[in-house]
Amino acid sequence: MDFYASISKHYDFIFPFSPAQVEFVKKYIPQEGAKILDIGCGTGNLSTGLNDAGYTVEAIDFDSKMIEKAIAKNKNIHFQQMDMLNIANNFKTDYFDGIVTFGNTLVHILDNKDIEKFLLSAHQTLKKGGIIAIQILNYQNIVDNKIDTLPLIENEEIKFERKYQFRKDKHVDFITSLTIKNENQTIKNSIELNPIYGDTLKILLKKAGFTQIKVYGNFKMDLLKRDSIPLIIKGVK
């Protein structure tokens, strides 16, 4: 995606490594050496954190620039450029102990039928008892309350402004402005997203065969509230 290629050089300043994400995975997949697929891996920060925690990690991202940066960062992980809808064609059945897709990756799939297809593929590639964990935003809160601006991300290196424009087709346009401070440069982007609600995602997970589905409002596993912005959902094969 041109959207992500254009910001890949600065991605780690926007979304740095989050130890809380690794701790979340460790609570559900405690065994050392367990095989995990990281979908939408970006520049590989989570993959590297999971690898350092003792997991065997495969990682994919749709954007080739992100994969290039991830490979340069960590040669011990198998990073691949891949569409998440194609995982069943590229990985063995009953292969992974866990599949994680964080960073609001799932909503880039614009049709709920394709989300269902992805979840069926994820179920197929997981071992019995394997875990899927998905992090998106709580779009029921965002859409119902017309929250059109997300919190500003700013540090010494960058300023990242994020807005939503609500469409008649019920999708949203994610509009961003990235300012690179030491270069006095601004990169503007827009990409269409599918703001799937948590309740819909729960239904699709159940249809795909997942059980023990739980929903959280953050990676500390606090319960989801109506006004939560993050949404994390997990299921078991």
The Cα 51–Cα 70 span in angstroms is 13
Considering only residues 6 and 162, tell me which one the structure prediction assigns the higher pLDDT.
162
Cβ neighbourhood burial of 111 (10 Å; 0-12, 13-18, 19+): exposed
The CA-atom distances, in angstroms, between 233 and each of 18, 25, 100, 114, 187 are: 17, 12, 10, 18, 32
In contact, 19 and 27? CB cutoff 8 Å: no
Residues 39/163/15/187 CA torsion (nearest 10 deg): 100
Question: Which strand (E) or helix (H) includes residue 158?
Answer: strand 158-166
Fold of the 2-140+195-236 domain:
Rossmann fold (3.40.50)
CATH of domain 146-193: 2.20.25
Residue 1: band (very low, low, confident or very high) from pLDDT cuts 50, 70, 90: low
Domain locations along the chain: 2-140+195-236, 146-193
How do residues 23-41 score in pLDDT, each as one tens digit?
999 999 988 789 999 999 9
pLDDT of residue 217: 97
Answering whether pTM is above 0.85, one says: yes
How do residues 153-171 score in pLDDT, each as one tens digit?
999 999 999 999 999 999 9
Query: What tokens were used for 169?
Result: 């087709």
